[in-house]
Amino acid sequence: MRSYLDVAVLQLSSQSSVAGNLARVGELVGEAAARGARLVALPENFASMGGDAAKVAVAECIDTLGGPVSSALRKLAMAHNVYIVAGGLPELSGDSARPFNTSFMIAPGGSLAARYRKIHLFDVSLADGTVHNESASTSRGDYAPVISVVDGATIGLTICYDLRFPELFRALVDLGARIVTVPAAFTVTTGKDHWHTLLRARAIENQIFIVAPAQVGSHPGGRKTYGKSLIIDPWGDVIAQCGDRESIAVARLDFAYQDEVRKALPCLEHRQAR
Average pLDDT (118-140) is 87
| pLDDT band, residue 130 (cuts 50/70/90) | confident
Answer yes or no: is pLDDT of 184 > 90: yes
| pLDDT band, residue 92 (cuts 50/70/90) | very high
* DSSP calls for the chain: --SEEEEEEEEB---S-HHHHHHHHHHHHHHHHHTT-SEEEPPBT-S--S-HHHHHHH-B--TTS-SHHHHHHHHHHHHHT-EEEEEEEEE--SSTTS-EEEEEEE-TTS-EEEEEE--S--EEE-TTS-EEEGGGT-BPPPS--EEEEETTEEEEE--GGGGG-HHHHHHHHHTT-SEEE--B--BHHHIIIIIHHHHHHHHHHHT-EEEE-BBEEE-GGG-EEE---EEE-TTS-EEEE--SSSEEEEEEEEHHHHHHHHHHS-TTTS----
| pLDDT at res. 191 | 95
Answer yes or no: is pLDDT of 53 > 90: no
Query: Which residues are catalytically annotated?
Result: 44, 118, 160
> pLDDT tens, 189-217?
999 999 999 999 999 999 999 999 999 99
> pLDDT tens, 55-87?
899 999 999 999 999 999 999 999 999 999 999
Specify the pTM: 0.96
Fold assignment, 4-264: Nitrilase/N-carbamoyl-D-aminoacid amidohydrolase (3.60.110)
